[in-house]
Amino acid sequence: MAIKDRILPYLPHHHISVGKSFPLDCCIPVYHTVSDEVLPHINHCVAYKNISEFVRDLEFMQREFRFITWDEFKTNTRTQTKNSKKTALLTFDDGLAEFNDIIAPILLEKGIFAMNFINPQFIDNQDLSFRAKASILVEEIKNGKALSKQLLQQLSWQNQENLAKNILKIPYVQRDILNLIALDLGISFKEYLQQHKPYLGLQQIHDLEKKGFGFGAHSWDHPLYEELNIDTQIIQTRSSLQYLKDQQLNCEAFAFPFTDYGVEKAFFNRLFEEEKNLFCTFGCAGIKTDTVLNNWQRIPMENRKTAKQTLQQEIAYYCLKNFLGKNTLYRK
């Protein structure tokens, strides 16, 4: 259990009025998807919400904040505008298909804008992220499939007991192992993509943009940046931004896949020097400020808690860390 989760039950956060107590000017929640169905490609990686849970989240946040558009976010940030009611910029990651089928209709009905950060490698269901592959494999194992003794030995895994945990630990840099496991289990990722179509298609993205939604870059194929050298980090970032430019989509924003933890200041210096149109980047470390002033932190909302619980706890944790002087991210 994370330190935050161990501490939070003892903090006096239940009385906190979220909107009035939110310590920053803008709340930036981040989700991946919303569905009432079991989605094997994400089920073992993200605790996504069902439709009723998501609607309750939105209704709570609408009472506490004023949802804003990307242009409003940029204007408020540039002018350091103080609003009588705190604002919120809703964001999604990975460009999953439910954004078109489920989420967008709900947001349009409620008049809420959202940014969706996408990976070019997965658009039109060309490929699956390595985490999606891991989740599919775990789903198959939980349904009774087992690895051959030969592959277990090749991977230096002792037995089948911790198979799911071992698969979920496979990093981006060793992602080819996931293809070996799929072959051993008789699973075709290509067939899964054809049958389930988990990601948005390019035409859907353009249609959603016409309806008012925004899109930003999220790296080329969703690596953990901490595992990459700075040159590879820059290539991943710039190639995804270039894709958006080529498709005449918003190329003013980039959101780190997973987290921006461990990303050094030199990366930001290079990126903003080379990408003149880039307005800002986003991490997901909760309510924090950053020594890189145009890098904003978002609040992960998929944690088996309601939006009210999540935000109350984040505020309480911020207050505790503020007392300790630990609410700013410093970078090497």
pLDDT digits (tens, 9 = 90+) for 298-324: 999 999 999 999 999 999 899 888 888
Per the listing, tokens 């030199």 go with: 266
* 159 pLDDT tier (thresholds 50, 70, 90): confident
Q: For the residues 211-218, what does the mean pLDDT come to?
A: 98
- In the sheet that holds 26-27, the strands lie side by side as 26-27, 87-88, 66-67
Looking at residue 114, its pLDDT comes to 98
For residue 194, the surrounding DSSP H or E stretch is helix 189-196
Between CA 171 and CA 134 the distance in angstroms is: 10
Looking at residue 112, its pLDDT comes to 98
Higher per-residue confidence, 193 vs 17: 193
The pTM assigned to this predicted structure is 0.95
pLDDT digits (tens, 9 = 90+) for 7-36: 556 555 555 689 999 999 999 999 999 999
pLDDT digits (tens, 9 = 90+) for 59-90: 999 999 999 999 999 999 998 777 779 999 99
Looking at residue 276, its pLDDT comes to 95
Looking at residue 105, its pLDDT comes to 98
Q: For the residues 136-145, what does the mean pLDDT come to?
A: 96
Q: Are 147 and 154 in contact (CB under 8 A)?
A: no
List Cβ neighbours of 265 (8 Å cut-off, separation of 6 or more).
Answer: 291, 292, 331, 332
Task: Give the bridge partners for 100, in sequence order.
Answer: none
Lowest mean pLDDT among 7-16, 20-29, 158-167, 207-216: 7-16
Domains annotated for the chain, with CATH where assigned, are 3-14+26-70+79-128+209-329 (3.20.20.370), 130-193 (no CATH)
Lowest mean pLDDT among 85-89, 200-204, 217-221, 315-319: 315-319
- For the record, the structure tokens of 183 come out as 């072959």
Looking at residue 161, its pLDDT comes to 78
Between CA 268 and CA 285 the distance in angstroms is: 17
Percentage of the residues of the chain whose pLDDT score is greater than 90: 87
Q: For the residues 138-161, what does the mean pLDDT come to?
A: 91
Average pLDDT of the chain?
94
Looking at residue 130, its pLDDT comes to 98
Percentage of the residues of the chain whose pLDDT score is greater than 70: 95
Looking at residue 300, its pLDDT comes to 98
Looking at residue 11, its pLDDT comes to 56
Backbone dihedral angles phi then psi of residue 297, each to the nearest 5 degrees: -95, 135
- For the record, the structure tokens of 71 come out as 């242009």
Looking at residue 150, its pLDDT comes to 94
Higher per-residue confidence, 2 vs 25: 25
* 3 pLDDT tier (thresholds 50, 70, 90): low
Q: Are 172 and 227 in contact (CB under 8 A)?
A: yes
